[in-house]
Amino acid sequence: MSPPIHAELGPRSETVLEVAHFSGGFRSSGEVLPVLKDVSFSAAKSAITALVGETGSGKTLLALCTLGLSPRSFVTTSGSITFDGMDLASLDEKAFRSVRGRRIAIVFQDARTALNPVFTIGRQIADACRLHQDVNKKGALEATAQILERLRMPEATRRMKQYPHELSGGMAQRAQLALALICQPTLLILDEPTTGLDVTIQADIMELIVDLNRTDGMSTLLITHDLAVVAESCHDMVVLQAGEVREVGSCNEVLTDPKSPYTQGLIADSRLEGIRR
In-domain check, residue 131: no
| Structural domain count of the chain | 1
In-domain check, residue 225: yes
- By the 8 A CB rule, do 181 and 107 touch? no
In-domain check, residue 166: no
Is the whole model's pTM more than 0.85, yes or no?
yes
Residue-level pLDDT at 277 = 37
Q: Where are the beta strands (DSSP E) in the chain?
A: 15-28, 31-44, 48-52, 74-83, 86-87, 104-107, 187-191, 219-224, 236-241, 244-250
Sign of CA dihedral 74, 77, 83, 84: positive
What does the pLDDT look like over 145-190, one tens digit per residue? 999 998 889 899 999 999 999 998 888 888 999 999 998 899 999 9
In-domain check, residue 261: yes
Averaged over 101-109, what is the pLDDT?
88
Residue-level pLDDT at 40 = 96
CATH number reported for the structural domain that contains residue 271 in this entry:
3.40.50.300
In-domain check, residue 76: yes
- By the 8 A CB rule, do 32 and 25 touch? yes
In-domain check, residue 119: no
In-domain check, residue 4: yes
Residue-level pLDDT at 187 = 94
What does the pLDDT look like over 231-246, one tens digit per residue? 988 999 999 999 999 9
237 vs 227: CA distance, rounded Å: 10
Domain hosting 48: range is 1-89+185-194+218-277
- Ramachandran class of 138: left when φ > 0, alpha when ψ lies in -120 to 50, beta otherwise: alpha
207: which DSSP letter?
A: H
Of 125, 112, 109, the C-alpha closest to 165 is 112
What does the pLDDT look like over 32-79, one tens digit per residue? 999 999 999 999 998 999 999 988 899 999 999 999 999 999 999 999
In-domain check, residue 37: yes
